[in-house]
Amino acid sequence: MNHPFLRLTLLIATGLAAAQTQAQTQPAHGGRWVTESGNLEIDIAPCGDALCGTVVRVLANRSMEAPGQAMAPADQRPALGMQILSGLRAGGEGVLSGEIYNRETAKTYRVQLTLDGPQQLLVRPYVGIPLFGKTQLWRRVSEPEVAR
């Protein structure tokens, strides 16, 4: 049967299913996170059919390669507004897989993100397979209290 009402109902149901899938992924991993180095605040939010992470605040300029020193980034573009996480999609068992950009080396790596409780995110950039990576711990940014 080729009825307009039936097509509209199917279109709405498909849209609701897609929105529900995105809503199930976004709230847990989404939101604002401070990187392990304490350099950046990243907002993880939907972008297209995936999640992405964008720098919304620069907090410091510490080197991850040489602890205790200032970072000399290979990528000279400003960090603020830079998308460092992209193409994050559910990969099973609460893991998101995608890519992460390292401004210090100007290289992109594969990455897995796993929640470690509601306030901690395990971020594992790697080359080849996850075994060849190093896990970082990012912390969720607390929502500031609104003055009344």
pLDDT surpassing 50 at residue 62: yes
Tens of pLDDT, residue by residue over 67-82, are 889 999 999 999 999 9
Tokens 């970072």 sit on residue: 71
| Dist CA 8 CA 64 (whole Å) | 52
pLDDT surpassing 90 at residue 4: no
Cβ contact 96:25 at 8 Å: yes
What is the percent of the chain where pLDDT is above 90? 63
Short-list 148, 125, 147, CA closest to 136? 125
Which region among 3-7, 14-18, 25-29, 143-147 has the lowest average model confidence (pLDDT)?
Answer: 14-18
3-state SS assignment for residue 19: helix
Q: Domain residues of the chain, as ranges?
A: 4-140
Report the topology of domain 4-140.
Lipocalin (2.40.128)
**HSE-CB for 14 with a 13 A CA cutoff:** 6
| Dist CA 120 CA 125 (whole Å) | 16
